Amino acid sequence: MYNTTIKLNGTVSLRGDKSISHRLLMIASLINDKSIIKNLSTGSDVLTTMQCLQKCNIHIEQNQDTVIIGGTLKSPKSTLDCKNSGTTARMMIGLLAGQKISSSFKGDASLMKRPMKRIIAPLTAMSINIKHNNNMLPISINAKHVIPINCKQSTKSAQVKSSLMLASLGSNQYSSIAHNKNTRDHTEKILEYLKFDILIQNKIKIRKSKIEKGFSLSVPGDISNASFIIGACLIIPGSHIIITNVLYNKTRLGFINALLKMGANIKIIKKEQGHNLERLCDIKVKYTPKLKAININGDEIITMIDEIPILSIIATQATGQTVLRDAAELRNKESDRLSLIYNNLASMGANIKERSDGLIIDGNKKLYNTTIKHQDDHRIAMSFEVLNLLINNKMDQSYREIIKISFPEFYDIIEGLIQ
Ligand code: S3P
């Protein structure tokens, strides 16, 4: 359908997973000893977490791909700027509340509009004093005393679950946090691995813990960043790539599982990582001309929450109608992602419908070039760059600053694979 003159070929490895990078930095700040983190994400969201921690008296040294972190958390002298990072804001608020550190938080225009009630309500129930702007940032916290929480309704957000776990470290008594098993489980896994007092069952039980010894860990390659390269490879004729040392965790595999159901030519080779924190895998991907449409709904959405934009792009190249439901949470991300995917694809000529909680996308319709509306959302920008590559044989290359939020290597890696 397109006059594609390029293909992607080669083997790449990726910098560390963004979610795990945020968590290792924050959890290291709870340990007085020095910790070493290798292959940290280079995304500016993670840099934002580092800067916030540094303002709270944490020492961070960076040498090539190794970070050494240590020190004791103290009240910052000025407001912590979480910039574009929801994970920084929601998790740092829980972290500092748990350590009874008074602090205030702000963010960029996008983050200042994102919902914070989801953490404000439960943290308030833990007796943490929170001032907020109509349940949004700016927020300031004052936690003199933290009482445990018994959270009965399971949260579908890993950020909320993590914020509550970190805040629960402020009490000698166990908190009990109901959680949806499909939400990413990195925080509880890291805390358990480092021997914090945590029990992970149907509910997570967690309380104050004193950990004396620092850790040394390497962050597995970012599976969410891998999704853009996988997507490009699947839809560009003749492509064949291998991505090595990527995170293999079932709470993050929704995108790959969906692609396999669509008939994608993907092979996963699982590996052990020498410690029992997270596993790694190599992913082999080949161009797949006959992708089938798919229905995705319910908890499946949780395990691919950040991959819906690139999945929607892939759906435009599949045969049949893809129906995404139960995805209203996408409207609360860095942008209203459902609306941007709909508007951009519609203006490119796609047969697409927008529903309050999802999208209906007809595949195999020829799409045309357009100016992309991205509202500075990194995942929207990368998704449409992948489509650009298919339609125009080149990317726009003008979103470098936006894409830096999560995947600064995006353009260079794709350029390096083009043949
Ligand atoms: C994240 C959790 C998800 C995801 C975000 C990163 C995390 O958000 O969309 O990009 O690191 O915990 P929610 O927990 O709000 O679903």
How is residue 125 annotated by DSSP? H
Q: Ligand 1: which of 48, 114, 159, 331 to mutate, judged by most atoms within 8 Å of the beta carbon?
A: 159
CA 305 – ligand 1 centroid, Å: 8
CA dihedral 196, 96, 25, 138 (to 10 degrees): 150
Select from 17, 18, 19 the residue to mutate for testing ligand 1; criterion: most ligand atoms less than 8 Å from CB: 19
- Percent of the chain whose predicted confidence (pLDDT) is above 90: 97
CA of 337 to the centre of ligand 1 (A): 14
Task: Find the 92 Cα to ligand 1 centroid distance in Å.
Answer: 14
CA-proximal residue: ligand 1, atom 16 (nearest): 157
Using left for φ > 0, alpha for ψ between -120 and 50, and beta otherwise, residue 100 falls in left
Report the pLDDT averaged over residues 357-384.
97
pLDDT tens, position by position, 194-227: 999 999 999 999 999 999 999 999 999 999 999 9
Tokens of 234: 């699947």
> Which residues are annotated as catalytic?
306
Asked if residue 221 lies in contact with residue 21, where contact means CB atoms within 8 angstroms, the answer is: no
- pLDDT score, position 64: 87
Nearest protein CA to atom 13 of ligand 1, as residue: 157
Helix, strand, coil fractions of the chain, as percent rounded to 5: 35, 25, 40
Dump pLDDT digits (tens) for 87-118: 999 999 999 999 999 999 999 999 999 999 99
Instruction: Give the CA distances from residue 241 to residues 7, 109, 391, 413, 417, in Å, rounded to whole numbers and listed in that order.
Output: 10, 37, 20, 12, 8
CA of 157 relative to ligand 1 center, distance in Å: 6
Taking the CA of residue 157 as reference, the ligand 1 atom at the shortest distance is: 14
274-332: pLDDT as tens digits:
788 999 999 999 999 999 999 999 999 999 999 999 999 999 999 999 999 999 999 99
Q: What is the mean pLDDT of residues 230-257?
A: 98
> Residue 275 is which amino acid?
H
**CB–CB of 143/129 below 8 Å?**
yes
| Structural tokens at position 396 | 């726009």
pLDDT band for position 155 (50/70/90)? confident
Minimum-distance ligand 1 atom for the alpha carbon of 329: 16
Mean pLDDT across the chain, nearest whole number? Answer: 97
pLDDT bin (cut points 50, 70, 90) of residue 4 is very high
Distance 354 CA to ligand 1 centre (A): 23
User: Which residues contact ligand 1 via a Cβ below 6 A?
Assistant: 19, 87, 157-159, 162, 184, 305-306
Residues 59-87 pLDDT 10s? 999 998 999 999 999 999 999 999 999 99
Instruction: Indicate if the pLDDT at residue 404 is higher than 90.
Output: yes
